[in-house]
Chain A
Amino acid sequence: MSTLEIRGLKVSVDTKEGTKPILRGVDLTIKSGETHAIMGPNGSGKSTLAYSLAGHPKYKVTDGSVTLDGQDVLAMKVDERARAGLFLAMQYPVEVPGVSVSNFLRTAKTAVAGEAPKLRTWIKEVKEAMDNLKMDPAFAERNVNEGFSGGEKKRHEILQMELLAPKFAILDETDSGLDIDALRVVSEGVNRAKAATGAGVLLITHYTRILRYIDADFVHVFVDGQIAEQGGPELADSLEAEGYDRFLAKA
């Protein structure tokens, strides 16, 4: 049983106009096996939260703390966070020219696990995971995210979640840009990974649609760099009906 604890997190981003505060004090505790949906309008700071947890250098933490089982996450380098068990499925996965998916996956697995996976079982594991996500085996030899469609990029992110088996996965708008079939396939991948590893999931989304496939235990409404309201799955239903206007008016 692991715990990811975010306390009073304030984050700024450096822009040409100067430092811009975005997160204005975020408190959130996630335990293994729990799924927390973070829902909020565009520009509310959801990706900033995701990137800050992963340690993206553009985002400067000005206050607060993040701990994983008591360990100071903010003191860790990006790769150390991943090895500690954090995983970020990105809203906009990055192309890495000349690096094949298979090389990338094997290198990442080796780094996260601390040793190279046994070749034969690894190849089988990758193939099965790709089959499950309805990814063409030819993907393994393509360059990371290069020329991938939006849906292919998202499948590739979830493929990594399944193979790297993190303690906590942050999924940043994994649902956006997916058609209904792809959404189901990707959601099943998340559920599989969760069932297999008991990971805690932070599911960032703009729409409630993905919650039909992935059950959230908690729903947090994110507005203007803060959690404006929290509740159970029923909160998502009211958002579905009313949208974010209620919160935006208040903010």
Chain B
Amino acid sequence: MNAAETLTTDHSKAVADGSHTHGTGPGFAIPAKSRAERPTSFEPADFPMPTGREEDWRFTPLARLGTALDDVPVDRTAEWSVNPIPAGVSITQIEGADAQLRAVRAPSDRAGAIASARAVRNLLLAVAPGTVVPRPVEIEIAGVGGAVRGHLTAEVGDGAEVTVILTYTGEVELSEFVSIEIAPRARVNLVIIDECASETVHLQDIVVRVGRDAHLRASLVTLGSGLARTNTSVMLSGEGAELDLFGLYFADSGQHIENRVFVDHIAPRCRSRVAFKGALAGQTARTVWIGDVLIRAAAEGTDTYELNRNLLLTEGARADSVPNLEIETGEIAGAGHASATGRFDDEQMFYLQSRGIPEDEARRMVVRGFFADLVRQIGVASVEQGLMRAIDRELGVAHE
């Protein structure tokens, strides 16, 4: 594709440099301070009401958040449905105080703190140590209007293996705090799919701790919601922990899709790969990707790479992409990032059309092709196939 703006950096030879940032051009932020210093708390009052000038709120249209930043009680819940729960997996309701005690870390912004504090229901999904769950745990969360707050806890025991698919549908103003503990040697494949109606506001503050030699594969798919903002923080806190984090989004006119990723390399010899790809179609389609990676002083032998690519299908759409890498040790195996936002490639279209393929189908092939390598990484066949169909539908909507 024609990269309008490309940034690729290889930090494998980088020296220790406490506040490593890139560039000062448009779209690049120089954080006021290290990611390590950002406060976390369960107390909403610890986070003043954002004005929109804060580093972590400056891209978000605050006026469209509804009541998500208001610290007031709510009484609604979304409808949960779960496929028959496989043996070794349990889903139970717990007290709010218990949920907060179990959290791997407190929320890092006001929305997350309120989501937990005002949660009507606190659910705990637990996978017993050593259990290899034979089929995915599929949970559908359907919004039926109103303001909903939730705190979801997941704990995967030592050496367990599980795939969890969370699908969000319906219309709702939903703000959630999600804490996931992955014990040593466990392997988790987490797929989160947002297919909510266009009136939906969906905020998620996801915090994951990955233990020694454990592996998290996570795919965040955002096709729906009018405003979707996902904070994903992953702490690689046990030696040899691994993260493969994928994101796929498709924004139409009127949609704001924001992904904020924070990969925290705490322990030595961990590996992280982050790849987000988005397509934007329509005048007011808007996406934001922030990719913060912190390699702490103790995280020797870190191997990290993050990538964001955006495909602008029409005029007017806008994608912001801000990679940021902080390196506090010189002893790393590799660290790099790439960010590119490009227009839809007319040469690819011409090539396909010159073989008789009609315009609509050619466009579908190019966009499917853009996402194909990511989709193949999800590792759940039914999700992969469903996604390709969903992308086709998005294209149908975008070009009607």
State whether these chains interact.
Answer: yes
Interface on A for B, CB 8 Å cutoff? 54-57, 77-79, 81-83, 87-88, 90, 93-99, 103-104, 107-108, 111-112, 143-144, 160, 164
Q: Which of A79, A81, A94 contacts B358 (CB 8 A)?
A: A79
Give which listed residue, B352, B361, B371, contacts A96 with CB less than 8 A. B352
Residues A98 and B373 in contact, CB atoms below 8 Å apart: yes
B354 touches A54 (CB 8 A): yes
A144 (CB) vs chain B CBs: closest residue? B351
Check B365 against A99 for contact (C-beta < 8 Å). Answer: yes
A109–B257 Cα distance when bound, in Å, is: 38
Task: State the Cβ distance, A195 to closest chain B Cβ, in Å.
Answer: 22
Q: Does B362 interact with chain A (Cβ within 8 Å)? A: yes
**Contacts A99-B366, A143-B369; is A94 near B347 (CB within 8 Å)?**
yes
**Interface check B87, CB cutoff 8 A:** no
**Cβ B355 vs Cβ A82 within 8 A:** yes
Partner of A90, one of B351, B356, B361: B351
5 contacts between A and B (CB under 8 A): A82-B353, A82-B356, A87-B354, A97-B370, A143-B369
Q: Which of B347, B355, B357, B369 contacts A98 (CB 8 A)?
A: B369
Please measure, in the bound complex, the distance between the C-alpha atom of A77 and the C-alpha atom of B346, giving whole angstroms.
14
How many residues belonging to B are interface residues under a CB distance threshold of 8 Å?
Answer: 24
Instruction: Scan residues 289-348 of chain B and give those whose CB is less than 8 A from a CB of chain A.
Output: 346-348
B372 contacts partner chain A, Cβ-Cβ < 8 Å: yes
B359 interface contact, C-beta 8 A: yes
Closest Cβ of chain B: how far from A157's Cβ, in Å? 10
Closest to B354 in A: A54
Task: Please report the C-alpha to C-alpha distance between residue A57 and residue B347 in the assembled complex, in whole angstroms.
Answer: 9
Known: A98-B369, A98-B371, A98-B372. A111 touches B355 (CB 8 A): yes
Chain B residues, CB < 8 A from A83: 356
Take A57-B346, A78-B353 as given contacts and tell me if A96 and B358 are in contact as well, using a CB distance cutoff of 8 Å: no
When the two chains form their complex, are residues A82 and B346 in contact, meaning their CB atoms are under 8 A apart? no
For the complex, would chain B's binding face be called helix, strand, loop or mixed by DSSP majority? helix
| Chain B residues in the interface with A (C-beta under 8 A) | 1, 346-348, 350-359, 361-362, 365-366, 368-373
Complex: A57 Cα to B372 Cα, angstroms:
27
Find chain B residues with CB under 8 A from A96 CB.
348, 351-352, 365-366, 369
The answer to whether B370 and A111 touch across the interface, beta carbons within 8 angstroms, is: no
Choice from A57, A95, A164 contacting B350 with Cβ under 8 Å: A57
Give the distance to chain B from A197, nearest Cβ to Cβ, in Å: 15
Distance of B358 from chain A, by nearest CB (Å): 5
A111 contacts B366, C-beta separation under 8 Å:
no
Could you tell me the distance between the alpha carbons of A143 and B351 in the complex, rounded to whole angstroms? 14
Tell me if A79 and B356 are in contact (CB < 8 A).
Answer: yes
Q: How far is the CB of B371 from chain A (nearest CB, A)?
A: 7
Q: Which of A81, A90, A93, A107 contacts B357 (CB 8 A)?
A: A107
Contact assessment for A77 and B359 in the assembled complex, using a CB-CB cutoff below 8 Å: yes
**Interface-centre pick from B346, B359, B369, B371 (highest chain A CB count, 10 A):** B369
Known: A56-B354, A94-B348, A95-B348. 17 other contacts (CB 8 A): A54-B350, A54-B354, A55-B354, A57-B346, A79-B355, A83-B356, A88-B354, A94-B350, A96-B351, A96-B365, A97-B373, A98-B372, A103-B365, A111-B356, A111-B358, A112-B356, A160-B355
CA distance A144 to B369 in the complex (A): 10
When distances are taken between beta carbons in the complex, the residues of chain A under 8 Å from B373 are 97-98
User: Once bound together, how far apart are the Cα atoms of A56 and B373, in whole Å?
Assistant: 29
- Judge whether A111 and B346 touch: CB under 8 Å: no
Residues of B within 8 A of A82 (CB): 353-357
The residue of chain B having its C-beta at the shortest distance from the C-beta of A107 within the complex is B357
Question: Which residues on B sit within 8 Å (CB–CB) of A88?
Answer: 354
What's the least CB distance linking A140 to chain B, in Å?
15
Q: A residues within 8 A CB of B365?
A: 96, 99, 103-104, 107
Chain A residues near B351 (CB-CB < 8 A): 90, 93-94, 96, 144
User: In the bound complex, how far is the Cα of B372 from the Cα of A107, in angstroms?
Assistant: 17
Q: Is the CB of A107 within 8 A of B370?
A: no
Is there contact, CB below 8 Å, between B366 and A108?
no
A68 to chain B, nearest CB (A): 14
In the assembled complex, which residues on chain B have CB atoms less than 8 Å from the CB atom of A54? 350, 354
Judge whether B354 and A107 touch: CB under 8 Å: no
Distance to closest chain B CB from A229 (angstroms): 30
Shortest CB-to-CB span from A186 to chain B, Å, is 18
Residue numbers in B under 8 Å from A95 (CB-CB): 348
Which partner residue on chain B sits nearest A92 by CB separation?
A: B347
Interfacial chain B residues near A97, Cβ < 8 Å: 1, 369-370, 372-373
Who on chain A is nearest to B358 by CB? A79
Chain B positions within 8 Å of A78 at CB level: 350, 353-354
Query: Looking across the interface, which residue of chain A has its beta carbon closest to that of B349?
Result: A78
- Is the pair A164, B356 in contact by a Cβ cutoff of 8 Å? yes
Contacts of A112 in B (CB 8 A): 355-356
The residues of A that contact B361 with a CB separation of less than 8 Å are 107, 111
Nearest B-chain residue to A84, judged by Cβ: B356
Question: What is the chain A residue whose CB lies nearest that of B373?
Answer: A98
Distance in angstroms between the alpha carbons of A103 and B355 in the assembled complex = 13
Q: Are B371 and A111 in contact (CB under 8 A)?
A: no
Which A residues lie within 8 Å of B366 (CB)?
Answer: 96, 99
Q: What residues of B have a CB within 8 angstroms of the CB of A79 in the complex?
A: 353-359, 362
Instruction: Contact check, A98 vs B368: say whether CB atoms are below 8 A apart.
Output: yes
Q: Could you say which residues of chain A place their CB within 8 Å of the CB of B352?
A: 96, 99, 104, 108
